[in-house]
Structure formats: structure tokens, C-alpha cells
Structure 1
């Protein structure tokens, strides 16, 4: 969770879909924005390159954008109205016509920025890939983004600017912007693509309990045969060593399995010989692991449980110092539970025919995952460890020697922080997000918003470099929510203002131990590391597809083992991610908990599901004795009374 540039991390993946053919007829009437009505040429004063890598030269009524190779992640041109804002309320979308004058395929993106219907800043973005010498179009419908999916509702009558940008490249990119126009009718929606349709199986049931697929939803490959017998699916796999499989898919689009941790399949061996069944679920992002059971004897039944969580945790690229979200090959998963395309069945090759009858396929929770005894009691690895921080929230009042409840809200402009939204009850702290008008930090001189939330961090009061950090939590339930448990650098008061103290360059790093987006459903979250600031030098790595099953009481326990050159994240006592590189932070950091809305891949909030609590049961940290330093520990200056915000001076 960065303090800025929240949209950038998802653009290269989300915008890679070609949206419209280059020969599509332009709708009429239109309203031009590159050359505004009444002008005969482009007004250069309205153009602003994103960096020195980018130059722009008019070519008649077109504009040639040249991007030199360099480090900027998303270089491009910002185009502003001569008399802001633009009013496109009579239209349904904005469209750019582009030509690739370069030598390599280029991913071109169109972003429309402006005020949302809620009165906040927002944007809608789409993109298309254009081959050298070819032309293409990219069209942004108001309120849709990243493949025409519902998104922030931009007010068409209040458009502040239009941005045309590409992605970082090692060669020069040259794009001619032939036109930018508003078109269509007010309220127009993008055409529905079948692959964008999402089908949520009632109760997670894909087969059985009154649910059966149609013939068109079943397919056998390489000689495998499949048929429906009542509510059961009969499968036959011929003898031989070559792979054979059967796929079950939705009638249209993809299954939405966000309310599931995995898939459970019950089947019976209807053949004359043992069967070793294998199952996986495919998705837009990639497949799950393959799940199997020991060979099942003829006439016997068995249940296969397939978790979305991978068997091999995500491993970051070893010794990497630059952005990479791929991880090492064969580690982690890229499965996306909101876009499951099929369930695939296969068997271990054999010299005999194998037949099975599948009775049920259900997506949901699986058998309870084991919780190790050490969880909450000590770090997960051996060593001479000392408990250095413990908060169980057993008191009715917050310990202000540890915690702040006031700071700037860098992430969610619709909400304000209030001490009343840090609720202490039943031995837990609840960061409560609710619709409640008030002032930021409960200060009448600050901005007033219609939503309130709670915040906790130890900035300026307690920090530690290295160690093991753990918290037990219950996540929010509503869409659009963005709770997180993370660490940020804090170099102390002597370093100066916050931007210097918390700078993630010069050896420091942001650790996102658990970062959940409500759109993903309760079983998936993000882990990440960010370093070298949040501008053009920003670097990041991690995984957006970390799956877990809550413990028997509905909690997730997330931990970070932070050692020199190594960061390991544990979920409910199981390793989920590991990264080894000399670039791991060596700067003391504070603990943070935020419960805001938004993020890079989220949906809108639902007032009906509020208040929505991010529950924190406990927070603990340990330090290994040989790693302890003067940088660690409580930092409240002598004589300074602890307050609701971090201290700003070392003197009383």
C-alpha cells in the first residue's frame, strides 16, 4: 500500500486488452479535445509531458508523442482544457485514435481524470496494444475501466484532463495521436463481452444439489469422454500414456468464486481398476495447483480438496533490485478466483481404461487448515528471541505511549480519521469504517467528510529494525474496503519532516504484510514490498494472489520475519511469501493498521454493509538479541506527554 501512485501498479496487466478494431466507424456527433472546437491547431500550452523522456510535436491536427528509453514506468502526455473543466455530459465515452510510428508493439493507454459523482477525484483508464505501422483506437466509457469493468463513476461534466501514456520500454516509442473525441450518447455503456460475464454459483455449487451442467458446458479431450447421468457427470479416460482430460466450464463467461478458499469434489470409481484422479481450476490469471488423492479402488468413493492456496509459497526473484511481480518460476500462484474458467479432470496414465462418476463439485471452505503451536507465542524460526512489543487491547483506553490515532489520510479522500472510530471492546481494537459526517482528526479546522474510520500506528513512539512482527485480525466484509497491516520506515525526529523520516529509499522499504481489497473476497489478499520512493524511481515486488482460510474463529494471523537480506511472510503459521536480496530494508520501521477504501483493483463501497470493522486481536513483535540496536524500542522523547498524534518535537 503506497502513499501515492495507487493506480500505477495495475496498469500494465489490466490495460493489455485490445478493445476496438482500428476500422470501427466513428460515432456522431463528436466533440474534439486534441484540437478544441474553434481552434485550427493544437495549443501546446495545454500539453504537459510526464517527464523529460517525453516530447510532443504537432503534425497538422495530430500530435506525435516520442518517448525516449528510460526509467519512467508510465511516460506520457497530460492534456488539459483551455477553460476547465471539459463538459462531456452529452456523450457516453472519450475515444483516442492512435498510430504506432515506432519499431515495436506499444501498449497505449487513455486515462480520463476528473471529479467523481461523489465529489472526489477519480479516473477511468483503458488501453490497447498497437503493432508498428498500424493504427488503433482506445475508448473510455464514463464509469468503466480496465477492460470495460464497472469502476469509479467519473462525472462527464467535470473532466479535468486526459492522459495518453505508454509503459516503460528499452527502445524509443513514437505514437501519433490522430484525434481525441467524445462520442456516443449520455449514459452509454460498453458492449458486454462474454468473457467479462461473471456467474456466481449459488452456495458455491457447480455440480450436485439440484445443479447440473448442460452438454455444452462439458468437454472431453484427447479421447476422454464425458456425459451427464442425472446430476452426476460420467467420465471415461482411455488406456494409454498420453494426457487425457475433461473440462467443466460455465455456460457463459467465468465463475465468480471469490467467496471460496477452494473446491471440493466427490467422486466414485465406476471402473474395474484403481483410479488416481487429478483436478485443477483454471482462471484468467492462471491455474491452481493440481490436487489428487491416493488411488481409489473400484466401487469406492473419495473426496478431493483443492485449495486455491499454492503448495509452494511465492518466492521473489533472488537478489533482485528492480520491480518484478512474477516471482520465481514454479512458486506461488496467479490464479484469480473472480475469473475461474473451468474445472479440469485428468487421471494418472495407465494401460487400462479408467471411469469415474463425479457426484458433486462445490466451491467454499475446505477442511480446517492446521495451526502450529508456536503461533502467537514465538517467532517461526529458532534463535535467541525477546518479546519487545505486545498489545492485547485488554484495556478500555488506548495506550498512547504506543499508538497514534491521528495522521494524514493519504489513501482515502472520502473519509476522515476519528478517535471514536478506534473502538476497544472484548479485548480487541476495531477500526470502524462508517457513514458519519465529521472533521479529519476530529479538528473543526480540517476537511469535513461523510465517512469516518479508525487508524493506528506507532510512528514516533515505537520502532524496530529487523525481528518478527505478528498480528491476529478479522478482515472487513464489504466491497471497496481496503484494510492493511504494514510497516513503514521511521528514522526519528532528528531526520526532519515525515517525508524524510518515512522515505523508502536510502536502504528503507515499505512492507505490506497483509493488504486486502474487498473486491477480491475474504480469502485473498496482497503482500508487497516497495522501495526507492514513490516517484519515477519507485520499485516494487510481491504477489496479489495470496489465499488463506481463516482459523476456526474467523481470524487471520499474519507475520513478517524481517532479517538482514531476507523477508518472509507467514499466514496462520504457514510460509506464504519469501524474498531474499541485499535490498531488504535496514531502516527501523513503525507498525501501521489502516482501514480505508479504494486501492488499485477494488469496487465501490456499499453503505448498507456499514459499519465495517477491521478487527485486531493482538499485535506482537520479537527481536533476535544479536540483531538488536539503539534504533529499536520506544521513542517518545523524555518529558513529552503522549498524545493522539505522533510527537513533532523532542522538547516538552
Structure 2
């Protein structure tokens, strides 16, 4: 980009005056900035505004292929020393005709492989003005990010997303501000509270009726019983038009949301304190939606007390593509407990004596689990790896490949550990090269990886693994499958294309922020670009067995994918689009994911443990593509998107 910088018509730009004495102006529009501004591509032009009423620099982006078009802003000479500040903020105006998202990235002096930057974005309607604030050490939603050194800021970047039409914005100011070590503000609803011993109401808990109780056509109060609070709910008689409205009371956290990820249910002790039999109804509320309504099996007579258990998991499994099926409750964002009762033309009184989150008793697993598929048929076991030896079966598994999911870590054979009848994929803080190859990327974290690309594939069947999930924050373990059409098709991208009948099956995909009792299943298809489609369920609740393992399986037949955990069906999708392409097995342990928290080095190393992998094929579905692949194939590039 080349342009001639013209001084602004106005001598003073009031918007450039810092908002406080502690702010520092980083762009003075009255000076020549031509050497400090550079577009990211020929799609982008930059000109100074000549309108005194609308000062700043104008950025115009033409339609084109660039993913993140914008401008780079360099310091005048040496890197900026912003050690006395906590953030950089830009005030921008959308001067175009379409909504845009403008991001501000602040670049440090670190190794580019570590992504040494922090960034935030602001969404602007046409004509709207907004401020995007990037706090040092945080990125995108003020989540903890790269530990940028503010004393050595080498570049700043303002950019948008790919432009299909002309986009434009004006930069009105760019300043550093805030105190050193600044922390992002926390919205009250974003606060997460883990109740001590799981108690939401009961011993040791003091509630505030004014802030924690909401009433809808009902009355509630907190009363003292045996030295602790109880919740009294009075539901008036219902008649006439009043019968059309809801009668309910909701108990809420003191602030934010309850984080109940260490539990799978809430136990509520309720007493009928009225004069007539009553049928109470209870459910949990959350950011993602409520639990099922739960009622006792019979009305409670006057004075009768009963414990009612509200499971996080819905009684209706996730029938993908059908609304109203599957679990909606988000276990770490529970916003309330709602209590009501069947409507009758008489007053009813309920006394809620205690509310506690808990784990159910360890379930008894079905006898068929691990021994056969979940449905009858003429099945043949086609793969059975118990990991009982001291070395990996290299005719079946590979530990190397590209890491498409996590640019902070590399795959290493040293992090695939056999012993005790299991294989452990380890994630650790250890500098090294991807695939233990000095010619490949170097990162500061190492991880284990297993896949069968070039070695084994199967179309249709039942696929099962018994696994123990890591607990360290920020990790993303998964058991999944990807297409493989075989070496005769050509390069890897053709072999593993999820279009043309192919599909990614995520049999068990977990983000450690969710806790050990929840995971995701999904299917991705029609490629990973503009035609990409997906379907799945991210609230699969499960209780590990007595040894801490979960056993997850996929029953894949023509037009059908049915998912199981610990012997119970948890989700299904029946559709002609279900994959008909042979697929490989994968176990991955990157960091990150779409809904995770930050990695904590102090909790590393962590391990994703696999006890066994077993696969069956129904004889009438078998094909020549099933089983081990020819050893002569040379392409071992890795798998996935």
C-alpha cells in the first residue's frame, strides 16, 4: 500500500485527547503516518479523513479472498513500552453499508509459533461507533490468553472478516490506558459459584429472600427450622382466568450461576405444609435451558415429606433433527430451581427443607457391554486391542500426524505410554518438535496421539472404547472417526473428504471445563468450508464406573448412527446422509476447544487413558475395504480437519 499522508484540516482532534491523564495516545493523526501504516493485502486501502467533523483514518476493504483484511500499525521507531498500562483501545466507526466485526490485535515480541498476541473485537451496525478494548493477557471475550509483555509491543492490527462486499471503517483514536496488571470486568451473570458440599439450601447456607427468590402468582418466604433456613411457598387457589397463568417460585444463586459440574442430579426435600394433597413439580433452570419437570409418583398428603431427585439428563434421548429431545441443562451454568404444583381450586403450601447437588450411586453396567454390540445380529469381532503388552501394535496404530486442532502442542511418541493393560495419552509441558521431527514445528507442549490412517478402516459396524478422561483444565480429549477411501483415491484430502458421502463421527468429545460427567457427540459432513454442516448434542451426561472409566460406542449402519455410553443409548440420527465411506479410528488430546477454559501448567501432566478398543462388523455389511490396509502405503500425513 502506498499513499500520501495529508495533515488533518483541524489543528486539534478532541477524540485523540486521552480519557484520563493516565492514557497514552498511540496514533497522532496530525503527524505523517505513512511509514507506520501498512495494509494486509491489496484489498485494503487507507486514507486520512479530510472531514474535521469526522477525523481519523479511513480503511476501505474491497471484496476478495483474504480471511482477515485490515491494517498493521507500527510504532514510531522502537517498540512501544506500555508497561505502565493495562490495555489498548481503539474507537472505530462503521462507515459501510453492512454490519461488520472489527478486531484489535496487539502483538508482542515473542516467537510467532506461540501466537504472541492478544485480541478483542466489537460488532458494529452501519453508522455505529464502538470501542474495542484489548486487555494485556486476554483475548476474545476476555478469556485468559498469551502472557503478552506490554513493555515490548511491536505491532497493532485492526481487521475485519472476509469481505464479500465492500467494507469500511474509520479509526477515530488509538490509545493505551488502564492500570498495569488490569483484569477484565466480570459481568455478574458470568460468575460461577460452586456450593460448598453441594448444598444450595440447608445447613451452613444463608439465603437472601429479596435477591434470591422470584415469585410468579405465588408467595414465598424464608423461615427458620431447626436452626437453618427453609423455603415456604404459598400457592393460592386457582379459578377462572387465574388458571391460565403459571404459579411458581424460583430459588436463584446469590450471584451469577451455580457450577454443579461435579454432580449429576439435585436432591430436594419437600414437605406438604398445607391442608390438601398436592403434587409438587420441580425443575432446574440454566443458560442452555431447563431440566425435565420432575414430580413424585403420587400426591403428597398433608404433612408428608419426600425427597425429589432432579437429574441433569433428560429422560428423552437426543433424537437429532427432532426438536424437544435430549438434555438442555448446562451443568456449570444453573440459574435456578423452580417449584410449582398442579393447579387446583384450593390453597396449597409447600416447604422446601433442603436442596443439594450430588452424584447418584455408581450404576450397574449391563452384561453385554464390551462383549458384543447392543443389538442382535450376525456379528464378528474385527478389532480388539486390550493394550496388554509393553509395545504398541504398529500394524494397527500410528502416533504421528499433523496437529490441526492445537497450534500450541506437538505429537510425540514419548507421550503414548503403555502399561498396566491401558494406553495413556499424556499432555505435558515439554518443548519439542511435531512428530519428533526437527524439520517440523516446535512448540512448548507435547501430547500423545493415536490413529489408524493407512493401517485400518471399516465401513459400518459397532465401535466401542473404554476411557478415563483427564481433569486438568483446558484439554480436549476425543474418540472419533474420519473417512478413508484408500490409497487408490489419491492424496489425503481426497481420501478423508467429509463430502461425497463421507462424515466425521465424534463418538466422545470432551472439554475438561465441563467436568468428568458430560461430553459431546457430533457429526460433521459436506466438507469444512462453506458447505459444512453438523449435527450433535453437547450435553451428554454420564456417570463413570467404579474405576472412573466411561465406555462409549457408535452403532453405525446404513442411514443410522446410534450412540451409546455405559450401555445406554444417548443419541441417534437416522438419515440417508449418514456416511457410507470406510472410516478410521482416532484418539486425540489437544488443548483448546470451543467452550473450554485455559490450560493450567501447574496441573500438568495430564492423561487420557484408553483401556480397550473393540470393533464388530455385521456379516451382511462387510466389505473389501474393511480391516488392515496394505503395509506398502507411504503417505502418513495425519488425519482430520
After TM superposition, the score normalised by the length of structure 1 is 0.82
Q: Which residue of 2 aligns with 1:433?
A: 427
- 1:620 counterpart SS class: strand
In the alignment, structure 1 segments of 5+ residues that lack a partner are: 1-21, 318-327
Listed as ranges, the matches of 1:341-360 within 5 Å are 341-360=335-354
Q: Which residue of 1 aligns with 2:272?
A: 269
Alpha-carbon distance between aligned partners in 1 of 2:458 and 2:517, rounded to the nearest angstrom: 30
Listed as ranges, the matches of 1:296-307 within 5 Å are 296-307=300-311
Change (3 A) 1:608 1:64: closer
Alpha-carbon distance between aligned partners in 2 of 1:491 and 1:113, rounded to the nearest angstrom: 42
Specify which of 192, 195, 218 is matched with residue 189 of structure 2: 195
Q: Which residue of 1 aligns with 2:480?
A: 486
After TM superposition, the score normalised by the length of structure 2 is 0.83
Deviation (angstroms), 1:359: 2.2
Q: Which residue of 1 aligns with 2:69?
A: 77
- 2:586 counterpart SS class: strand
- 1:561 counterpart SS class: strand
Alpha-carbon distance between aligned partners in 2 of 1:122 and 1:501, rounded to the nearest angstrom: 35
Alpha-carbon distance between aligned partners in 2 of 1:578 and 1:261, rounded to the nearest angstrom: 22
Residue 549 (1) aligns with residue 547 (2): no
Q: Which residue of 2 aligns with 1:10?
A: none
Specify which of 211, 215, 223 is matched with residue 218 of structure 2: 223
Alpha-carbon distance between aligned partners in 2 of 1:306 and 1:115, rounded to the nearest angstrom: 52
Q: Which residue of 1 aligns with 2:312?
A: 308
Q: Which residue of 2 aligns with 1:237?
A: 235
Specify which of 498, 514, 519 is matched with residue 508 of structure 2: 514
Deviation (angstroms), 1:43: 7.9
Alpha-carbon distance between aligned partners in 2 of 1:523 and 1:180, rounded to the nearest angstrom: 47
Q: Which has the higher contact order (CA 8 A, sep 6+)?
A: 1
Alpha-carbon distance between aligned partners in 2 of 1:516 and 1:36, rounded to the nearest angstrom: 49
- 1:432 counterpart SS class: strand
- 1:337 counterpart SS class: coil
Q: Which residue of 1 aligns with 2:295?
A: 292
Q: Which residue of 1 aligns with 2:40?
A: 47
Change (3 A) 1:65 1:247: farther
Change (3 A) 1:85 1:453: farther
Report the more deviating stretch, 148-157 or 384-393.
148-157
Change (3 A) 1:535 1:104: closer
- 2:316 counterpart SS class: coil
Change (3 A) 1:439 1:55: closer
In the alignment, structure 2 segments of 5+ residues that lack a partner are: 1-14, 50-55
Deviation (angstroms), 1:120: 1.1
Contact residue 78 and residue 161 of structure 1 kept, 8 A: no
Q: Deviations over 1:272-307 (max 9, x none)?
A: 222322222222233222222222232222222222
- 2:602 counterpart SS class: helix
- 1:378 counterpart SS class: coil
Alpha-carbon distance between aligned partners in 1 of 2:30 and 2:534, rounded to the nearest angstrom: 42
Contact residue 117 and residue 153 of structure 1 kept, 8 A: no
Contact residue 103 and residue 159 of structure 2 kept, 8 A: yes
- 1:519 counterpart SS class: helix
Alpha-carbon distance between aligned partners in 1 of 2:162 and 2:517, rounded to the nearest angstrom: 31
Deviation (angstroms), 1:593: 0.5
- 1:292 counterpart SS class: coil
Specify which of 509, 518, 532 is matched with residue 524 of structure 1: 518
Contact residue 483 and residue 582 of structure 2 kept, 8 A: yes
Contact residue 262 and residue 306 of structure 1 kept, 8 A: yes
Q: Deviations over 1:327-368 (max 9, x none)?
A: x42123443222222221111212222222222211231244
Alpha-carbon distance between aligned partners in 2 of 1:231 and 1:199, rounded to the nearest angstrom: 19
Q: Which residue of 1 aligns with 2:497?
A: 503
Deviation (angstroms), 1:515: 1.4
- 2:390 counterpart SS class: coil
Listed as ranges, the matches of 1:79-98 within 5 Å are 79-81=71-73, 87=80, 89-90=82-83, 91-98=85-92
Q: Which residue of 2 aligns with 1:248?
A: 251
Change (3 A) 1:291 1:55: farther
Deviation (angstroms), 1:474: 0.8
Listed as ranges, the matches of 1:49-68 within 5 Å are 58=47, 60=49, 61-63=56-58
Alpha-carbon distance between aligned partners in 2 of 1:419 and 1:296, rounded to the nearest angstrom: 61
Contact residue 505 and residue 522 of structure 2 kept, 8 A: yes
Change (3 A) 1:491 1:267: same
Change (3 A) 1:44 1:108: closer
Contact residue 128 and residue 137 of structure 1 kept, 8 A: yes
Deviation (angstroms), 1:416: 3.4
Contact residue 76 and residue 166 of structure 1 kept, 8 A: yes
Listed as ranges, the matches of 1:60-209 within 5 Å are 60=49, 61-63=56-58, 76-81=68-73, 87=80, 89-90=82-83, 91-101=85-95, 110=104, 120-121=114-115, 124-156=118-150, 157-158=152-153, 162=157, 164-165=159-160, 174-179=167-172, 181-184=174-177, 185-209=179-203
Contact residue 386 and residue 623 of structure 1 kept, 8 A: yes
- 1:441 counterpart SS class: helix
Listed as ranges, the matches of 1:384-533 within 5 Å are 384-443=378-437, 449-533=443-527
Change (3 A) 1:524 1:119: same
- 1:499 counterpart SS class: helix
Contact residue 98 and residue 176 of structure 1 kept, 8 A: yes
Alpha-carbon distance between aligned partners in 1 of 2:154 and 2:300, rounded to the nearest angstrom: 63
Change (3 A) 1:430 1:103: same
